[in-house]
Structure 1
Amino acid sequence: MRLLGAVLPLLLLAGCSSWKPAPEDIKPVPAERLLGYQQPLEQGGQLRVNRDVGGMGGGCYVAVLVDRKVAARIGVGEQVRFLVPSGTRVLSIGIDEMDDTLCGKGRLRRELAVNVQPGSQQDFRIVSDNRKGFDILPVSQ
């Protein structure tokens, strides 16, 4: 019984952290939640963002911003691709202000400076952790 009392809180905390879904379980963000950077560009590159699966914020969308403009609203287990100009781009996540539930009332802002080369493709993950909250991280190849 003591073992159960010690292990159960750890299992509950671990349930709030996210994990990378299997490739066949990743769905594209629906067109109605794609808000920018979808048109092909000459001399541009691609930024792909996947959102992990997990309980934390599972019922909420996260806003994905390119150069501090909302480009998509991404849900759990979804992927979005942005076609961006070459040069240094600011890729970030934030609260989905289009959401009128409690999900849209918090605070969240994480940013990365991304150097985009013509023809390049870079991958990123939105992760959630019970201690640090949400973050966006580059995926190492």
Structure 2
Amino acid sequence: MRMICAFLLPLALVGCGSVPAGAGKSTPIPSERLLAYQQPVEGSGEIVVNRDIGMLGGGCYVAVLVDRQVAARIGIGESVSFHVPPGTRVLGIGLDEQDDTLCSKGRLRRELAVPVANGERLHFRIVSEAKSGFDIRPVTP
């Protein structure tokens, strides 16, 4: 019995958080959920956002915000890139107001000030954890 408990406890804890999709495993967001910052602009930078794979919030889309404007609706294991003008951008996540399920009834707002230089490419990931909920974090190369 102790052997079974010793095996099942770590297995149960794995389902409480998300894990990165890994290189080449994430799928691009379908075009109908891309809402802004898709056209390359002269001198723009690029912000790439990947959403982790995990059960927490798995049935919900999360709104990705650029300068507090909904730029995309992202699901688990998906990725999106935005072409943004240089300068400090406000990158965030929030509730998907187009969602008519319980997922859109809570509260969610996380934001980061992101300095973007001309031609720079920055990577971020959306994580979901049992204790802290959703968050957006920079990915270091």
Q: The TM-score by the shorter chain falls in which range?
A: over 0.9
Letter in 2 for 1:109: R
* Identity within the alignment, %: 62
RMSD, matched Cα:
1.3
Cα deviation code 1:26-65 (max 9, x no counterpart): 1000000000001111111000000000000111100000
- Cα 1:7–1:131 change in 2 (3 A) is farther
TM-score of the two chains, using structure 2 as the length reference? 0.94
Identify the residue that residue 118 of structure 2 maps to in structure 1. Answer: 118
Please state how far the C-alpha of 1:112 moved relative to its aligned partner: 0.5
**1:88 correspondence with 2:120:** no
Alignment of 1:56 onto 2:38? no
Matched, 1:103 2:103: yes
CA distance in 2, matches of 1:83, 1:8: 44
1:24 equivalent in structure 2: 24
Shift of 1:8: 3.4
Contact 1:14 1:130 in 2 (8 A): no
Give how far 1:7 is off: 5.4
Superposed CA deviations along residues 78-134 of structure 1, whole A, max 9, x for unmatched, are: 000000011000000011111000111111111000001011000000011111111
- Give the residue type in structure 2 aligned to 1:134: F
Counterpart residue type for residue 110 of structure 1: R
Residues in 2 aligned to 1:53 and 1:83: alpha-carbon distance in whole angstroms: 24
Give 2:72's aligned residue. Answer: 72
- Number of the residue aligned with 2:129: 129
Aligned letter for 1:49? V
Q: Do the aligned residues in 2 keep the contact of 1:48 with 1:124 (CA within 8 Å)? A: yes
The question of whether the paired residues in 2 share the 8 Å contact of 1:13 and 1:130 is answered with no
Structure 2 gaps of 5+ residues are none
Contact kept, 8 Å, 1:49 with 1:81, in 2: the verdict is yes
| Structure 1: 4+ residue segments shifted above 6 A | none
Q: Could you list the runs of 5+ residues in structure 1 that have no partner in the other structure?
A: none
Number of residue-to-residue matches in the alignment: 141
Give the Å deviation of 1:9: 4.6
